[in-house]
A = this chain, B = another copy of it.
Amino acid sequence: MGERLHVLYRIQCAPDQASGRALGIALEQSTELPAGAEPEAIHALGLPGRVEELVPAAWPPPDAHALPAFDARISFPTELAAGGITALANVLFGNTSMQTDVTLLDADLPAALVADYGGPRLGSEGLRRLLAIPRGPLTCTALKPVGASVAELATLAGRFAAAGIDIIKDDHGIGDQQYAPFAERMPACLAAVAEANARRGGSSLYVPHISGPLDTMRRRLDLCRRAGARAVMVAPMLVGLPAFAAIAAEAAWGSEPLVVLGHPALSGAARISPALLLGKIYRLLGADAVIFVNYGGRFGTPPAICQALAHGLRTPWGHLRPALPVPAGGMTVERVADLLQFYGPDLVLLISGALFPADEGLDARSRRFVEAVRAADAQAEFSPPAANATPEKGTP
């Protein structure tokens, strides 16, 4: 008891309905009974949920044709969400996810809940140690397209490593298709990057994408470890949040723990704030670095959400290690300096589509990306550091 879980919902409705809707959410996410139909005895347990605050939404400004928006802060007893991410996700948004007038904005987890989660096992520091780059922005790109053969993808991996790109990940659409089966692709790309590293004295990291049911992911994680991979990428919403948490924990087993990179596929963006889902929950479950769709690219994420997301990953939070933000999605080399200014230097910049086609120009474009990041880092004056950026209310 004592501390409660506080959850922030945005409700779009007529002003005279706001307090009724807020109470409705407090009940829907706890007792699922009309007010007063619950047994008296559960009041002593802090049930049902309580509306703590209800205010007109400060942001974004209301659209003249849309209903106004209200932010409801609702609290629940911690025990309701105890027992892992399945229970937590259900209290945060289970049935309410089906009410189209409500968006899940944020959550403040009491320390007793945070203690149940491992968070990033290596975190930004561990990832930087692997790359031997203690500070400043890191570069990342993707092996693509799906349909390319094992040999083509491995060659591409070697070329990116030769150009000096720090992190070379599988495109998340590349799984275990016959085009390039995982068991052949992963060691081939790993070897190509290792060879390029040996030639130039580099430490580029190849990050294979693992997916599928938990048992399949475990087999692939084991294959990665035996082959000498030092990192894996997982899309938590595709594989399921509990399976992601399991793999993130198991990746850290043994003497050579693997870095875990989170991918945003299937994370939606309209009903659960990416600042909460990717910035806090993915970190809570163990992502060492988190890919998210950047503002101004081909996705619609607003800058304020991107900033809150990056802040959520990097800011001190209980016993959890900080994780690295990886903005991506339609980014170009020309934007590098602006992005460094916006996010500060503790991040990974992911550019992939803009480096293609894989003709002879790809090597030069990749080197230009690496050089642009180095140059921007050398010139930038970082003020204020991103970790001090004002988060959304309730961000840790």
Q: How far apart are the CA atoms of A24 and B298 in the complex, in Å?
A: 9
Q: Report whether B239 and A147 are in contact in the complex, using a CB–CB cutoff of 8 Å.
A: no
Residues of B within 8 A of A99 (CB): 269, 298-300
Interface 9-residue window, one of A54-62, A80-88, A129-137, A378-386: A80-88
Given the known inter-chain contacts A101-B300, A357-B36, please indicate yes or no for A147 contacting B267, CB distance below 8 A. Answer: no
Contacts of A228 in B (CB 8 A): none
| Cross-chain contact A39 with B86 (CB below 8 angstroms) | no
Residues of B within 8 A of A68 (CB): none
Does B33 contact A145, Cβ atoms closer than 8 Å?
yes
Could you tell me the distance in whole angstroms from the C-beta of A169 to the nearest C-beta in chain B?
A: 12
Contact A173 B91 (CB under 8 A): yes
Please provide the chain A residues from 74 to 131 with a CB less than 8 Å away from any CB of chain B in the complex: 79-80, 82-84, 86-87, 89-91, 93-95, 97-101
Q: Mark A10-47, 1 if CB is under 8 A from B, else 0.
A: 00000000000000100011111110111101100101
Does A367 count as interface, using CB distance less than 8 angstroms?
no
**Residue A273, interface by CB 8 Å:** no
Residues of B within 8 A of A352 (CB): 32
Contact of A353 among B33, B82, B98, B212 (CB under 8 A): B33
Chain B hits for A268, CB < 8 A = 97-98, 268, 271
> CB-CB < 8 A to A270: which residues of B?
100, 270-271
Which residue in B31, B93, B145 is a CB contact (below 8 Å) of A146? Answer: B31
Look across to chain B and name the residue whose beta carbon is closest to the beta carbon of A356.
B37
Q: Does A242 contact B (CB under 8 A)?
A: yes
Interface contact B152-A39, CB-CB below 8 Å:
yes
**Are B90 and A357 neighbours in the complex by a CB distance under 8 Å?**
no
Across the interface, which residues of B come within 8 angstroms of A100, CB to CB? 269-270, 300
Let me know if A176 is at the binding interface, CB within 8 A.
Answer: yes
- Are the C-beta atoms of A83 and B38 separated by less than 8 Å? no
Mostly, the A contact residues are loop
Say how far A239's CB is from chain B's closest CB, in angstroms: 6
Minimum CB–CB distance from A42 to chain B (whole Å) comes to 3
Q: Which of A100, A238, A301 gathers the greatest number of chain B CB atoms within 10 Å?
A: A238
Contact of A80 among B65, B84, B177 (CB under 8 A): B177
Closest to A103 in B: B270
A201 interfacial contact with B, CB 8 Å: no
Cβ-based interface call for A260 (8 A): no
List B contacts of A31 (CB < 8 A).
144-147, 173
Nearest neighbor of A355 in chain B, beta-carbon distance: B37
Most chain B Cβ neighbours within 10 Å, of A42, A94, A246, A269: A94
Contact B245 A242 (CB under 8 A): no
Q: Which residues of B contact A94 (CB under 8 A)?
A: 172-173, 235, 238, 265-266
Q: A32-B173, A33-B144, A65-B65 are in contact. List 9 more A-B contacts (CB 8 A).
A: A28-B298, A30-B173, A32-B353, A37-B357, A39-B147, A80-B177, A94-B172, A98-B293, A240-B243
Considering the complex of A and B, which 10 residue pairs feature the smallest CB-CB distances, nearest first? A240-B240, A42-B147, A31-B145, A94-B265, A65-B65, A213-B242, A47-B147, A37-B356, A37-B357, A98-B269
13 A-B residue pairs with Cβ-Cβ distance under 8 Å, sorted by A, are: A30-B145, A32-B145, A83-B175, A87-B175, A87-B211, A90-B211, A90-B266, A97-B268, A97-B269, A98-B299, A100-B300, A213-B242, A214-B242
Interfacial residues, chain A to chain B (CB-CB below 8 A)? 24, 28-34, 36-39, 41-42, 45, 47-48, 65, 79-80, 82-84, 86-87, 89-91, 93-95, 97-101, 142, 144-148, 152, 171-173, 175-179, 211-216, 235, 238-243, 245-246, 264-271, 274, 293, 298-301, 329, 352-353, 356-358
